[in-house]
Amino acid sequence: MKYKAKFYEPKGMKTKDHCFVGIVWPIVGSKGNTYEVELHHKGFSCSCPGFSFRGQCKHTVAVAERFLVDSVPEYCI
């Protein structure tokens, strides 16, 4: 059985055609495991087990919050 890919798109952020699409951020989890958060045209994805079940995790939320809090360079808009 094949599962449909899940993506987390935070409110207030458009990920389609964003200049950081394809960038992967290595995130260290609470138990020392390293997970990969990637920005896609449809939103963020994470390699952690929780994301595959819920389509959202604390790793994707943490990376997305940086985009909403920090100013995005003008060339990215």
Taking the domains of the chain in order of start, what are their residue ranges? 24-72
Query: Which parts of 1-77 fold into alpha helices (H)?
Result: 49-54, 58-69
What does the pLDDT read at residue 41? 94
CA 52-57-34 angle, to 5 degrees, is 85
- E-state strands within the chain: 24-28, 34-40, 43-46
Give 19-76 pLDDT, tens digit per residue: 899 999 999 998 999 999 999 999 999 999 999 888 899 999 999 888 776 555 555 6
Q: Which two tokens stand for residue 28?
A: 């260290």
For residue 8, pLDDT over 90 is answered with yes
Residue 9 reports pLDDT greater than 80: yes
Give me the chain's average pLDDT, please: 86
pTM, whole model, 2 decimals? Answer: 0.82
Alpha carbon distance 68, 47 (integer Å): 22
